[in-house]
Structure 1
Amino acid sequence: MLEVMRLRGDEGVRKMAEEMLKLGEKTREERAEQSTGGMVPSSRSGTFISRALAEATATTLSPNRKVYDGEKKASLPGTRARFEGDPATGDAEVDRAYDAAGEVFELYAQAFNRDSLDGFGMDLVHTVHHRANYNNAFWNGTQMAYGDGDGQLFQTFTELSVIGHEMSHGVVQFSGGLVYEGQSGALNESFADVFGVMTQQRALGQSVYDADWLVGKGILGPNINGVALRSMKAPGTAYSDSLLGQDPQPYHMDLFVNTTSDNGGVHINSGIPNHAFYLFCMYMGGNAWDRPGQIWYKALQEINNPLATFGNWAAQTLDAAIDLHGNGSYEMLMLRRAWKLVGIDV
Structure 2
Amino acid sequence: MCQHHSRNPILCLIPPYLLDQIARHGNKAQRDAALSTRAKDSTFRSLRMAAQPTRARAQAATAFVGKRRSIYTADGTETLPGTLVRGEGQPASGDPAVDEAYDGLGATFDFFAEVFDRNSIDDAGLALDATVHFGKGYNNAFWNSAQMVFGDGDGQLFNRFTVALDVIGHELAHGVTEDEAKLMYFNQSGALNESMSDVFGSLIKQYALKQTAETADWLIGEGLFTKKIDGVALRSMKAPGTAFDDKLLGKDPQPGHMDDFVHTFDDNGGVHINSGIPNHAFYQVATRIGGPAWEKAGRIWYDTLRDPRLRPNTGFLRFARISFDVAGRLYGVGEAPQQAVKEGWAAVGIAL
What is the TM-score of this pair, normalised by structure 1? Answer: 0.90
RMSD over equivalenced CA pairs, Å: 2.0
Aligned pairs (5 A) from 1:291-306: 291-302=296-307, 303-306=309-312
Aligned to 2:313, which of 307, 315, 318?
A: 307
Aligned pairs (5 A) from 1:330-345: 330-345=336-351
Distance in structure 2 (CA, Å) of the matches to 1:176 and 1:316: 13
Residue in 2 that maps onto 1:51: none
Aligned to 1:191, which of 182, 187, 196?
A: 196
Residue in 1 that maps onto 2:67: 63
Q: CA deviation at 1:25?
A: 4.1
Is 1:139 matched with 2:134? Answer: no
Aligned pairs (5 A) from 1:156-167: 156-158=160-162, 159-167=164-172
Q: CA deviation at 1:92?
A: 0.7
What does the per-residue CA deviation read over 1:61-119, in whole Å, with 9 as the maximum and x for residues that have no partner?
A: 42100110110111111100111011111111101110111100011001111111111
Cα distance change on mapping 1:259 and 1:21 into 2, 3 Å: farther
Residue in 2 that maps onto 1:7: 24
- Which residue identity does 2:318 align to in structure 1? N
Is 1:17 matched with 2:34? Answer: yes
Aligned to 2:284, which of 254, 279, 287?
A: 279
Cα distance change on mapping 1:27 and 1:292 into 2, 3 Å: farther
Q: Is the 8 A contact 2:52 2:146 kept in 1?
A: no
Q: How many residues align?
A: 326
Identity %: 47
Q: CA deviation at 1:239?
A: 0.6
- Which residue identity does 1:21 align to in structure 2? R
Q: Is the 8 A contact 1:31 1:139 kept in 2?
A: no
4+ long deviations beyond 4 Å: 28-36
Unaligned runs of 5+ in 1: 45-59
Cα distance change on mapping 1:19 and 1:263 into 2, 3 Å: farther
Q: Is the 8 A contact 1:94 1:128 kept in 2?
A: yes
Distance in structure 2 (CA, Å) of the matches to 1:119 and 1:98: 19
Distance in structure 2 (CA, Å) of the matches to 1:75 and 1:32: 14
Distance in structure 2 (CA, Å) of the matches to 1:35 and 1:306: 21
Distance in structure 1 (CA, Å) of the matches to 2:331 and 2:49: 35
Please state whether the residue corresponding to 1:138 is helix, strand or coil. Answer: strand
Residue in 2 that maps onto 1:113: 117
Distance in structure 1 (CA, Å) of the matches to 2:51 and 2:22: 30
Cα distance change on mapping 1:77 and 1:172 into 2, 3 Å: same
Distance in structure 1 (CA, Å) of the matches to 2:330 and 2:21: 43
Unaligned runs of 5+ in 2: 1-17
- Which residue identity does 1:120 align to in structure 2? A
What does the per-residue CA deviation read over 1:250-299, in whole Å, with 9 as the maximum and x for residues that have no partner?
A: 00011111111111111111000000000111101111110000000000
Cα distance change on mapping 1:242 and 1:288 into 2, 3 Å: same
Residue in 1 that maps onto 2:104: 100
